[in-house]
Amino acid sequence: MEKATFAAGCFWHTEEVFWQLKGVLSTTVGYTGGTVQNPTYKDVCTDKTGHAEVVEITFDPKKITYEELLAVFWGIHDPTTKNRQGSDIGTQYRSAIFYHTPEQKTKAELSKKNLEQSGKYKKKIVTEITKATTFYPAEEYHQHYVAKHGSAGCPR
C-alpha cells in the first residue's frame, strides 16, 4: 500500500472524489504543510498556520497508479488560481501535491510539466509540489462530510 496527499481546495469535495475510486483503500481529510502543531479547523481558517486542507489517500498501486491519482487531482480543480478554489479563499485552499517518495516527486513534476505544455490553461499552473510533512487528521465531523451531509459548500 502507498500514500498520496493532495490539496485541491475544500477537502470535503476532494475526498469525495478520491474515496470512490477503485484501488483507493481509505481517505482521511486533514492539514499539512504548515508550522503549527496539532492545528484545528478553526486555526487553519485564520490563514496564519500555513497548513493546506488536504486529503491523505491510502491506495493499492496494483489497482490504481499514482499517475492515475494525479490525473484525477488535475481534473477536479483549477491549478491556476493561487490560494483559491471557487469562493474559498486563503492559503489553506491552495493547490498542492505533497509527495511521499522521490518517485512520487518525479511523477508529480512530470505530470505538471505535461499539463503546462498541453495548452489546456492560458494562465500559469501554480500548484506546489512539496515533500509531505506531518499530517494532522481533521476533526471527525469533516471525515466523509459529503457522504454524510451532501455537497453543500465548505463552511467558513
Q: What pLDDT does 87 receive?
A: 87
Q: What pLDDT does 152 receive?
A: 62
Can you list the pairs that 82-90 forms with residues at least 24 positions away whose Cβ atoms lie under 8 Å? Answer: 82/126, 85/8, 85/9, 85/10, 86/9, 87/153, 88/9, 88/10, 88/154, 90/45, 90/47
Rounded Cα distance, 101 and 113, in Å = 19
Would you state the torsion angle of the CA atoms of residues 75, 66, 88, 144, taken in this order, to the nearest 10 degrees?
110
State the catalytic residue, choosing from 4, 8, 10, 52: 10
Q: Which stretches of the chain score pLDDT less than 70?
A: 152-156
Q: What domains lie within the chain, and their CATH numbers? A: 2-149 (3.30.1060.10)
Q: What pLDDT does 156 receive?
A: 37
The number of helices, as runs of H, and strands, as runs of E, in the chain is 5, 8
Task: Return the amino acid letter for 9.
Answer: G
Annotated active-site residue 10? The verdict is yes
- pTM value? 0.94
